[in-house]
Structure formats: C-alpha cells, structure tokens
Structure 1
Amino acid sequence: MNPCRPFITRPVMTTLLSMALVIAGLFGYRALPVGDLPNIAVPIIYVVATQPGASPQQMASSVTTPLERRLGQISGISSIESDSTDSTAFILLTFDDSRNIDGAANDVQAALRAAMQDMPATLDMVPQYWKANPADSPIMVMALTSDTRPIAELYDIMQTHLQPMLSQVKGVGWIQITGSSAPAVRVEMDPYPLFKYGIGFEDIRSALASANANTPKGFVDVGTQRYTLATNDQARHAAQYRDLVVGYRNGRPVRLADLAEVHDGVQDERQTGYFNNHRAVMAIVRPQPGANVIRVMDAIRARTPAMIAALPAGVTLTPAMDRSITIRASLGDTQLTLLISVLLVVAVVLVFLRAPRSTLIPAITVPISLAGTLAAMYLLGFSLDTLSLMALTIATGFVVDDAIVVVENIARHMEAGQSRAEAAMRGAGEIAFTVLSITIALVAVFLPLLLMPGTPGKIFYEFAMTLAVTVTVSLFLSISLTPMMCGLLLDVAHGAPLPAGASAL
C-alpha cells in the first residue's frame, strides 16, 4: 500500500489542502493571543483580608486563624502559608497538580463566604482571592498627578471616573489603585479631654454612626395630599463633624471638636505614591487570562484621549509604565530570527541540491508547516509568546528533513531512467514509513518535556507541543505535497559540478 498515491494522482486536491493549511494559519496568527509567557494555570491561590487599625496579633487571632480553619477543609490542598501584618492578612494556598484550579477557586470562594460568620464586624471588606498566573503581570501603570488638588481627590477621580473607563476596554482584567486610599474624615482623639469628660471611644463611635445614618424621615399628611420628607443629614466633610454633640456634662453639650482634631484626609495615610517627584495615584492594569496584550494596550491608548478629556482642570494623566514595548521588541526579535532561520535553511538546501526547482520543493514545506502549526496552536489554546516562537524557530530546521529525504529518494529513481510520475510514485512509497519513523523519533525527544510534572512542565508544555505539532505537519506534507510537486517539478541535476568553494565546505 502506497500512502502517497492519492496525493500524487490528485494534484488539485493536494494543492487545495496545502492552501487550506496556509489560510488557516493566517487566521490563527491573527486570532492568537500575544504575551511574553504562556497562559498557564498554576495550582496556587492567595487570599487577602484587611482590617484597618488591627495589630498583627489581632489579625492572626481574629482573621487569619478562622480563615485557615475554613480553608483547610478544602480537598486537594498540599500546603497553607499565612502572614499577618498591620491591618492585613495574607494566606497562600498551594494545591495538588491534579486539582483543577477553577474548581479550587470555587471552593475557596465558598469557604470565604462561610468564614464571614467568624470574622469581626470591623472587617473592612469580604476577603478577596486571586489565582496565581505567571502571565498575569501588570501590562500598564497610569499615574494621576496634580499640583493644585489634594491626593484624596485624585484617588476619588481615579476610582469613580478612570477605573470604569479602563474596565470597559476588552481584555482588561483586574485594575488595582495604589498611591493613596479613599477620601475620609479623620478623627484623632485627645486622651486628656476624654478623661476629663469621662467619655470613651465607644461613645464617640456611636455618635459618628448616628450622624451618618441615612434613614427614611417619614412623611407629612396635609388633607388629601401626602408629602415625603426627603433630606440627607449625612456629614461628608470635617467641618460638618466638628459641632457633633457627643454627650452632655453639667448641662452643657460636649462637641467632637472639644475631644479630637477633625480634618479631611484619607482612610490610610501610610499609602503613598510618587511619579516624577510628584504625589500620584497609580492605576495598575492587569490583563484577562488569554488576552492579547498588544491589542489591549492599543485599545487603552485609543481610549486615553477620552479619559484625559474627562479629567478636571489641573489634573494630569500620564502612562508611567507600558510593558507592551518590551513585548513588541521581544516578539519582533524572535520573528526576525525565525525569518532568518527560514532563509538560511533554504540557502543551505540550495547549496547542496544545486537546482532551484529541486530546492523549491523542500523549501515550500517550511512556511506551510509553520502556517499549519499556527492553526493548531489556536485550536490548542496556545499563545504567541517567547517560548512558542522559539519552538517555531527551532523547528525550522526539522521540517525540511523529511522533504529532503523524499526528494533525494525520488531523484535516485529519476537518475535510473524513470519518469517524474513513476519515480515520485515509487520513491515516495519506499520512503514513507522511513519518514514516519524519523518523525516519531523526533517527537519522542520532546516527550520528557511534555510529561514533566509541576509548574515547569506546564510552562514548557506549550514549547514541546509546538515542536511536536510542527514536525507532525511536516510529515503530512512530506507524504502529500512533496511527492506531488516532485512528480511535476523535480529537476535532477546531481551530476552538475559543485559551485566554487562548495567542495571545500
């Protein structure tokens, strides 16, 4: 049985199959996500909880310990590491490699909801969790600065105006705002007046809570008409809090200004950010898993003028860091290396075959094999990154091996006096299983990388699989397109003299 016969006797079908590979590769190239590293699921989830004003001991006893108790009941956890600092608890969960990270994330979310009943009432927000991903590094940092407006107002502008506009960009995932915190009214107690009037912290807390109670005020009936009382007695600025009555002593009211210094500020004064020696609020942009970093950055740049136009006077928005620049440069260098590799392979084949038409046959398998690999990469969910492009570069030298073996065997039969069609039919049939064994041997070389366990195995899986797919596509072309082209175009010129200098080589 000759597996090459259908392709040799049906050149139109073989040509259309090759063209289909090229077209699929072009579509796959445009649809593949672009990044610097493969998008992999590392079996690690980290949890963060915040409680303003809590000491490390309080965080460990009231927040970290209940969370560890709940999270420790999740199946598949190999280790739990925690760190309690001022106002923050950090927990690192490492799962077994066999555990699906998405299912583990759902279990973590359920455990955090169950742990809320054990949390203190002063907890700032529900504990948050994130899945670790090496490709989840920030792709852009935008700085908001002003010489006239306070830093708390800049934080409010970034949170209420710019963050929603950035979140609307396709491919943008998590946006972290740093450099300051939300605007707040700070009440700094003076212990001496508190002792003098016999007023405790709980009395002041209750007075502040009642001053911020936004409750219904009722209604007034006048005849057949009813008027709803709509008023907002919430205090928003420090001046509105200073005259707040905390209690009465000796028949006289004790106001908040008598007990504390009240001023406008931020929730956490220990957070700060600087850009070019100016106080700044930063927006750290991270991409969604599998997003094309280059397209996301282009979309953010396209929306930047609209974001600048939405800013008040005296506020400046500046890109502080753009990781797409290094990604573009790295991918550009790798693509240039790939192009040089293809040209060098074609040149070496031309030197030794010494016939342009004979060189065209194995040379044309290189771009078609790479195009077919790009289509397969899209179907496998891979991305265009440093490792996958390096695999394509290395595979450039492999893809011509099978074609050269087939061409040489067909040329041997032509030198024996057979016609192109007869030589192609017989030569390709003789060498088909030899080519198959060569391909299997090459794929076997990459099996250790494909079967490597743990996170290193997940990182190199895309590299090894890209190489294996490229070699497999070249096998298909060597038993289909190559013998078909040999039956139509092969020109035997092995008896011609070597070019000058080739004998020395």
Structure 2
Amino acid sequence: MNISAPFIKRPIGTSLLAAALLMAGALAFNFLPVAPLPQVEFPVIQVSAGLPGASPETMASAVATPLERQFGRIAGINQMTSTSQLGSTSIVLQFDLNRNIDAAGRDVQAAINAARSQLPANLPGNPSYRKVNPADAPILILALTSDILTLPKMYDTADSILAQKLAQVNGVGQVFVGGGARPAVRAELNPTLLNKLGVGLDTVRTALGSANANRPKGELADPVNAWGIGANDQIFRADQYRKLIVAYKNGAPVRLGDVGDVQDSVEDIHVIGLSSGKPAVLIIIFRQPGANIIQTVDRVREALPLLKSSISPAIDLNVVLDRTVTVRASVADIEFTLLISVVLVILVVFAFLRTFRATLIPSVAVPLSLIGTFGIMYLLGYSLDNLSLMALAISTGFVVDDAIVVLENITRYLEQGMRPVQAAFRGAREIGFTVLSMSTSLVAVFIPILMMGGIVGRLFREFAVTLSAAIAVSLLVSLTTTPTMCAKFLRPLGEEKHGRIYRASERAFDHMLGMYRGSLRWVLRHQPLTLLITILTAALSVYLYIDVPKG
C-alpha cells in the first residue's frame, strides 16, 4: 500500500493542501495569546470575612472556626489555611487539580450559607469568596503620586474613577487599589470622660449609626397633591460629627466632640504605599484567563492619556511595574532561537546533500510543519509561552528527520537511474510505514509527561502536546508534500551538473565512508568484545543514574 501515491498523482491538490496548512497556521499564530507560562487554572478559593474592631483571637474563634468546620465537609480539599488579624479573617482553600473551580465555588458558597447562623450577629456582611490563581501575577502596576493632594483624595480618585475605567479595557480581569484607604471620619473616644459621664461605647455606636442612616423620609399629601421629602440626613465631615448628640445627662446634651477627638481620616490608617520614596496609591492590574498579556498591557498603555485627562492635573499617573518587559524579551529570544535552529538545520542538510533542489525540499517541510503546529495549538487553546516555543525549537530536529528519510530513499532510486516520478512512487511506498513508525515512537516517548500529575504535570502537558503535534504535522507533510516535491524538483543523476566544490566534498564523503566501513569490519570481527563493551556501558549508565544527586 502506497499512502503517498494519491498525493504524487495530484500535485496541484497537494500544493493546495500545503498552502491551506500554511495559511491556517499563520492565521492561528496571530490569535494565539502570549504568556510567560502555560495558562493553568489552579482550583484555589479565598474566603474573606470582616468584623470591625474584633481582635485576632475573636476572629479566629467566632468567625474562622465555624467557617472551617463547614469547609471541612467539602470533598476534594487538599489544604486549608486561615489567617486572622484585627477585624478580618482570610481562609484559603486548595482543591484537587482535577476539581472544577466553578463547582468548588458553588460548594464554598453553600458552606458559607450553612455557617451563617453560627457567625456573630453583628457581622456587617456575609463572608465573600473569590477564585485565586497562584500562578497569575499582576501584569501592570500603576502609581498615583501628588505634591498637593492628600493620600485619601488620591485613593478616592483611583477607586471611583480609574479602577472602573481600567476594568473595562479588553483583556483586563481584575483591578485592585492599594497603598491607601477610602476617606472616612475617625472618632477616638476618651474612656475616662465616657466613664465619668456614664456613657457606654454601645450608646455612642448606636448614635453614630442612627444619625448617619439614609432612610426614607416619606411624603406630604393632600387630596389633590403629594410632595416627596428629599432631605439628606447623612453627614460626611468631621466638623459635622463633632456636633452630634450621643446622649443626655442631667438635661444637658453630650456631643461627640465632648468625649473624643473627631478627625477627617481614612478607613485604615495602617496602610501606605510608596513609589520612589513618595506616598502613592497603587493600582494593581490582572489579566483575564487566556488573554494576550502583551496586547492587554498595550491597550492599558494606550488608555493612559485618556485616564490622565479624567483626573486632577495635580496627580501624576506612572507605570511602576510592567511584567511584559521580561515576557517580550524571553519570547523574542526563544523565537530568534527557533529561527536560528531552522536555518542551521537547512544548512546542515545542504552540507550533506550539496544540491539546491534537494535542500529546497526539507527547507519547505520544516517551516511548514512548525507553522502548521500553530493551528493545532490554537484549536487546543494553548498559548505562545516559553514551554510551547521551547517544544517547537526542540521539534525542529524531529520534523526534519521524516523529510530526510523520505528524500534519501527517493534519491537512492534516482542514483539507480529511475525517473523522478517513478523514484518518488517507489521510495515513498517503501518508506511510508517506516516514517509512520518513527513518528509514533517519538510521540510515545512523551506519554509519561502527558500522564504526569501535579502542578509540574499541568505545566509540562502543553510542552508534550505541542511537541507531539509538531511531529504529527511533520508526518503528514512527509507523506504528502515531500514525495510530491521530490517528483517535481529532483533530477536524475545524469542530468545534474556539479562544480569543483561538489567534487571536493564528494571525495571527503568517500573518505568518511571508507573509514566507517573499516570500523564496521573491525566491530564485526570482534563481536564478543563489542558486546562486552555495550554491557559495561549500560551497567555504567545504571550506576551513574543511581549515584547522581536527585532533588
């Protein structure tokens, strides 16, 4: 059976097939996302809860413990860690790698609902959760600095204006604002005065909550008309809070300013951000899963002039961290390495074949196989990262083997005097299943990597699949395009004209062939010694494998 015969008989159709493979790969290359590492979604969920004023011990016992008790009933949790601090608790749940993150999120939400009755009644809100990918680092960090405006005003600008507009940029997943806190009014009460007046902290807290609640005011109506009451009873500044009456003692009002120091401040005074030694508000940007990191950063940078025009001129907006600098450099370096490897392969082929017609065939087969692999990567949802590009660079030596084997066998019949078409039919028929077995054995080598578990297995799975896909595309090209090109471009041995360089190199190759024949005769005459050396080499390899340090 000759697999290549239909393609040799139809050179135009084969050329169209090769062109379609080339165009599909080139088109897919433009849509492949760029990332430093393969996009691996680790099933990790972080649960957060807050109770203002509660000590770490209270948060651990009253908030973290009931949640942990419910989370412990969820199937597939590998690790659960909790951290409690003043007023907040964070619980990180790590699931099995084969656990669906969306299903795990639903289980976590159900556990939070089940634990709600066991949590403190004065908890401001239900605990919240978000999916976390430990392998996903920020792609861009922006810093807001100013010599005029205060840190709370810059934070309010970043949180209410910039964060919302940045979240709308295509490719941006999450935007966090750090290095500061929202503006707030802080009341530091004097316990001595409160005790002397007989006013408790709960009384002050209730008065503050009642005075600052934006409740419905109702309406005034008569039989004909109705008027809604639109008064606003919320207060926002410290001087308004100082006049607030928190209690009455002996018929006299006790105001908040009488029992404490009231100042305009921020929600959390223990947070600060610095940029070049100056107080700054930081905007931390994460990308969406599968988004092109380079294109996303470019879109954010293009939006910076518009963002600067939407905030106060007194605020300086600068980029302090750009993760794509190293990504661009590493991807460009490995792309250059891939190009160099293809050129070197072509030069080595030319050095041994010594004819432009014969060299042209693997020179077409190698790039065609690599470019066609991009199409498979796109269908599988892979990205252009260091591991996938490294797989393509390594596969350069593999994909050229198939083309050379087919070319050499066809050339052998040309040297025997056959016409190119006849040589292509006969050479491809004899070598077709050999090429198939070679490619199958190469793919089988990477099966252990495909079956590898854990985080390392997840990362290297894309490497193994990309390499196997390149070998599979090379097999297709070698059985279709390569024999067709041999039938069209090669010439019988008598029709080829060679120069002095070819004749000189032919003498060198004949000398090398003579040396090989002499060494082969010596080995065949001393077969027991050769077998003994082989066994000793294998034993030495086993010893070195055992002795080599492992980690």
What is the TM-score of this pair, normalised by structure 1? Answer: 0.96
| Secondary structure at 1:83 match in 2 | strand
Residue 414 (structure 1) aligns with: 414
1:54 aligns with 2:54: yes
Could you say if the C-alpha distance between residues 315 and 18 of structure 1 is closer, same or farther in structure 2, counting changes exceeding 3 Å?
same
Most deviating of 7-16 and 102-111:
102-111
| Secondary structure at 2:468 match in 1 | helix
Q: Tell me how far apart the structure 2 counterparts of residues 134 and 260 of structure 1 sit (CA, whole Å).
A: 44
1:444 aligns with 2:448: no
Most deviating of 127-136 and 166-175:
127-136
Most deviating of 271-280 and 483-492:
483-492
Q: Tell me how far apart the structure 2 counterparts of residues 95 and 243 of structure 1 sit (CA, whole Å).
A: 53
Q: Tell me how far apart the structure 2 counterparts of residues 101 and 191 of structure 1 sit (CA, whole Å).
A: 49
Q: Deviations over 1:395-423 (max 9, x none)?
A: 11111000000000001111111111111
Could you say if the C-alpha distance between residues 365 and 230 of structure 1 is closer, same or farther in structure 2, counting changes exceeding 3 Å?
same
Q: Tell me how far apart the structure 2 counterparts of residues 283 and 480 of structure 1 sit (CA, whole Å).
A: 54
**Is the contact made by 2:418 and 2:492 (CA closer than 8 Å) also made in structure 1?**
no
State the Cα distance separating 1:215 from its structure 2 match. Answer: 1.4
1:29 aligns with 2:29: yes
Q: Tell me how far apart the structure 1 counterparts of residues 190 and 414 of structure 2 sit (CA, whole Å).
A: 103
State the Cα distance separating 1:122 from its structure 2 match. Answer: 4.4
User: Structure 1: which 5+ runs fail to align?
Assistant: none
| Secondary structure at 1:199 match in 2 | coil
Q: Tell me how far apart the structure 2 counterparts of residues 502 and 282 of structure 1 sit (CA, whole Å).
A: 67
Q: Tell me how far apart the structure 1 counterparts of residues 286 and 253 of structure 2 sit (CA, whole Å).
A: 52
Q: Tell me how far apart the structure 2 counterparts of residues 4 and 246 of structure 1 sit (CA, whole Å).
A: 93
What does 1:109-188 correspond to in 2, within 5 Å?
109-123=109-123, 125-188=125-188
Could you say if the C-alpha distance between residues 135 and 384 of structure 1 is closer, same or farther in structure 2, counting changes exceeding 3 Å?
farther
State the Cα distance separating 1:125 from its structure 2 match. Answer: 4.6
**Is the contact made by 1:351 and 1:502 (CA closer than 8 Å) also made in structure 2?**
no
| Secondary structure at 1:263 match in 2 | strand
State the Cα distance separating 1:71 from its structure 2 match. Answer: 1.5
State the Cα distance separating 1:223 from its structure 2 match. Answer: 6.5
Q: Tell me how far apart the structure 2 counterparts of residues 230 and 183 of structure 1 sit (CA, whole Å).
A: 25
**Is the contact made by 1:355 and 1:491 (CA closer than 8 Å) also made in structure 2?**
no
State the Cα distance separating 1:181 from its structure 2 match. Answer: 1.2
State the Cα distance separating 1:121 from its structure 2 match. Answer: 4.3
Could you say if the C-alpha distance between residues 134 and 89 of structure 1 is closer, same or farther in structure 2, counting changes exceeding 3 Å?
closer
Q: Tell me how far apart the structure 2 counterparts of residues 109 and 299 of structure 1 sit (CA, whole Å).
A: 35
Could you say if the C-alpha distance between residues 219 and 100 of structure 1 is closer, same or farther in structure 2, counting changes exceeding 3 Å?
closer
State the Cα distance separating 1:140 from its structure 2 match. Answer: 0.3
AA paired with 1:382? Y
AA paired with 2:389? L
Residue 13 (structure 1) aligns with: 13
AA paired with 1:159? D
Q: Deviations over 1:17-64 (max 9, x none)?
A: 111111111111111111101101223323233333222111111111
Could you say if the C-alpha distance between residues 199 and 179 of structure 1 is closer, same or farther in structure 2, counting changes exceeding 3 Å?
same
| Secondary structure at 2:184 match in 1 | strand
Could you say if the C-alpha distance between residues 122 and 323 of structure 1 is closer, same or farther in structure 2, counting changes exceeding 3 Å?
farther
Q: Tell me how far apart the structure 2 counterparts of residues 471 and 385 of structure 1 sit (CA, whole Å).
A: 19
**Is the contact made by 2:245 and 2:254 (CA closer than 8 Å) also made in structure 1?**
yes
Residue 497 (structure 1) aligns with: 503
Q: Percent same amino acid at aligned positions?
A: 48
Most deviating of 349-358 and 493-502:
493-502
| Secondary structure at 1:29 match in 2 | helix
Q: Tell me how far apart the structure 2 counterparts of residues 208 and 444 of structure 1 sit (CA, whole Å).
A: 71
Q: Tell me how far apart the structure 2 counterparts of residues 94 and 293 of structure 1 sit (CA, whole Å).
A: 26
What does 1:200-279 correspond to in 2, within 5 Å?
200-221=200-221, 224-279=224-279
AA paired with 2:201? F
Could you say if the C-alpha distance between residues 8 and 475 of structure 1 is closer, same or farther in structure 2, counting changes exceeding 3 Å?
same
What is the TM-score of this pair, normalised by structure 2? Answer: 0.88
Q: Tell me how far apart the structure 2 counterparts of residues 492 and 355 of structure 1 sit (CA, whole Å).
A: 12
Q: Tell me how far apart the structure 1 counterparts of residues 387 and 109 of structure 2 sit (CA, whole Å).
A: 33
Residue 524 (structure 2) aligns with: none
State the Cα distance separating 1:316 from its structure 2 match. Answer: 1.2
Q: CA RMSD in A?
A: 1.9
AA paired with 2:58? Q
Q: Deviations over 1:422-481 (max 9, x none)?
A: 110010010011111111111111111111011110000000100000001000100000
AA paired with 1:251? G
Could you say if the C-alpha distance between residues 226 and 325 of structure 1 is closer, same or farther in structure 2, counting changes exceeding 3 Å?
same
Q: Deviations over 1:322-344 (max 9, x none)?
A: 11111111111111111111100
Residue 368 (structure 1) aligns with: 368
Most deviating of 265-274 and 44-53:
44-53
| Secondary structure at 2:316 match in 1 | strand
AA paired with 1:405? V
Q: Deviations over 1:173-231 (max 9, x none)?
A: 11111101111110111111101101011000011011111112222235633222111
What does 1:181-200 correspond to in 2, within 5 Å?
181-200=181-200
**Is the contact made by 2:5 and 2:425 (CA closer than 8 Å) also made in structure 1?**
yes
State the Cα distance separating 1:312 from its structure 2 match. Answer: 1.3
Q: Deviations over 1:332-385 (max 9, x none)?
A: 111111111110010000001111110110121111111111000000010011
| Secondary structure at 2:22 match in 1 | helix
Q: Tell me how far apart the structure 2 counterparts of residues 491 and 129 of structure 1 sit (CA, whole Å).
A: 70
Residue 287 (structure 1) aligns with: 287
**Is the contact made by 1:39 and 1:134 (CA closer than 8 Å) also made in structure 2?**
no
Residue 390 (structure 2) aligns with: 390
Q: Tell me how far apart the structure 2 counterparts of residues 303 and 265 of structure 1 sit (CA, whole Å).
A: 31
**Is the contact made by 2:419 and 2:492 (CA closer than 8 Å) also made in structure 1?**
no
User: Structure 2: which 5+ runs fail to align?
Assistant: 513-551
Could you say if the C-alpha distance between residues 360 and 166 of structure 1 is closer, same or farther in structure 2, counting changes exceeding 3 Å?
same
1:2 aligns with 2:2: yes
Residue 462 (structure 1) aligns with: 462
**Is the contact made by 1:238 and 1:264 (CA closer than 8 Å) also made in structure 2?**
yes
What does 1:44-123 correspond to in 2, within 5 Å?
44-123=44-123
**Is the contact made by 2:43 and 2:133 (CA closer than 8 Å) also made in structure 1?**
no
State the Cα distance separating 1:111 from its structure 2 match. Answer: 2.4
**Is the contact made by 1:358 and 1:492 (CA closer than 8 Å) also made in structure 2?**
no
Could you say if the C-alpha distance between residues 95 and 89 of structure 1 is closer, same or farther in structure 2, counting changes exceeding 3 Å?
same
State the Cα distance separating 1:113 from its structure 2 match. Answer: 3.7
Residue 327 (structure 1) aligns with: 327
AA paired with 2:305? P
AA paired with 1:409? N
**Is the contact made by 1:174 and 1:285 (CA closer than 8 Å) also made in structure 2?**
yes
State the Cα distance separating 1:118 from its structure 2 match. Answer: 3.2
Could you say if the C-alpha distance between residues 125 and 346 of structure 1 is closer, same or farther in structure 2, counting changes exceeding 3 Å?
farther
Could you say if the C-alpha distance between residues 126 and 142 of structure 1 is closer, same or farther in structure 2, counting changes exceeding 3 Å?
farther
AA paired with 1:338? L
Could you say if the C-alpha distance between residues 90 and 213 of structure 1 is closer, same or farther in structure 2, counting changes exceeding 3 Å?
closer
| Secondary structure at 1:290 match in 2 | coil
